[in-house]
Structure formats: structure tokens, C-alpha cells
Amino acid sequence: MCFSAGASFASSGVLGGAGIVTNKKTKRIRALALTPILFAIQQFIEGLQWLSTNPSQLSIILGYGFLLFAFLLWPIYVPSAVMHIEKDKTRRRALRFFQVLGVLIAVYLFSAMATQPLSVAVFPRGLEYQIYIPFENIIVYLYIACVCGSLFESSRLILRIMALLLLISAIISLVIFQATFTSTWCFFAAILSLSLIVGMKWIEK
């Protein structure tokens, strides 16, 4: 498996186009429907990053742009979007926990971004966003638990299926693509977000 600028740009185009079409058809669950579009923007940034492989100021700016999505947006956005459409009170209480956990993770990661230097390394199968994060392994596990756990907590079957696939992709990324985990798991998650478009009619029920 090899990731590249072409893969990032192609996924960005598919996600963006499909996401725009879906958003025109739904209003009630727009928070979830926006997910593919947000992933499209993130993948477009990474496509540009692939074209800026030499160390440069542009590469660092693109790196921070990518990490704003990975570190700050997703751990807060996913639990919040799921809770927005959840009607079951018990599940909503659990989702509030994941929402708070996501905020804490985002604040912690933002502090690392604000205080530690960033560099981007190019590997044959991905990009490594090199930034020092204290207790990084613990944070990674909490991040996965936050994102996947909030989807597992949903009463919608399609979101629980997505959570399982997302968890499997996280394990694969950790085991096979450890050095490029952030880039690789975001790519897998972006592709999996297409399931939101396919399953939109079941989510809206």
C-alpha cells in the first residue's frame, strides 16, 4: 500500500463532491453530513504536503493545517456531532463524557503544537508529522477511545458499524504504519466517512 499526493487529492475530490451533494439533501443531521467535506479539506492539505516534500516554511504551515484537523477538530467534533442527533438520554450522558474527553485531548495536543517544533518526514507509505507529545502512547489510546467510543455509543447501527471499522483501521495503522499513524489513520477515517453518505437515510430515521 502506498499513499501519495494523487491518493490524497483523489480522496479529497470524491469526499468533497459526495459531501456537497449529500448536504443539499439533508438539514436535520447536517453536523454528520459535513464530515466528508471536512475530511476533503484535510486530505487536500495533505495532498499539498506531499508536493512540498523538501523542508520549507510552506511544509510547516501545511503540517500545522493538517494537525489542526487531526489534533483539535476531530476529538471534539465527532462526539459533538453524534450527540447532536442522539435522542436516547442515557446515551447522551455517555456522549457528554466523550465530548469532555475530546476537549481535554484537544487542549493537551494544542499545548504540544504551541510549545514544540514541528517537522514533516516523508516515508514511502505516508507522512510523519514529527512533534514531541509527552505520554504520546496514552494520548493516542485515549484519542481512539474518544472517537470510536462516541460512535459505538450511538443508537444508530450504521454509526456503530463505522466505529468498528474505524477501530480496526486504527489498529492496522498502529501495527503496520506506526511511524505515520496520524497521517494514515486520518486517510482511512476519511475513506470510511463515505459510509455516512451511503447510510444517510438510516441515520436520519
State pLDDT tens for residues 83-110. 988 989 999 999 999 999 999 999 999 9
- Alpha-carbon torsion 20, 22, 25, 29, what sign? negative
Q: Exposed (0-12), middle (13-18) or buried (19+): which is 197, by Cβ within 10 Å?
A: buried
* Distance between start and end Cα atoms, the chain: 37
- pLDDT at position 203: 61
Q: Helix axis angle, 35-51 relative to 5-25, nearest 10°?
A: 160
What cell does 145 get? 477511545
Strands in the chain per DSSP E: 119-123, 126-130
pLDDT tens for residues 149-173? 999 999 988 899 999 999 999 999 9
CA atoms of 4 and 47, how far apart (whole Å): 7
Distance from the Cα of residue 65 to its chain's centroid: 13
pLDDT tens for residues 4-20? 888 899 999 998 988 88
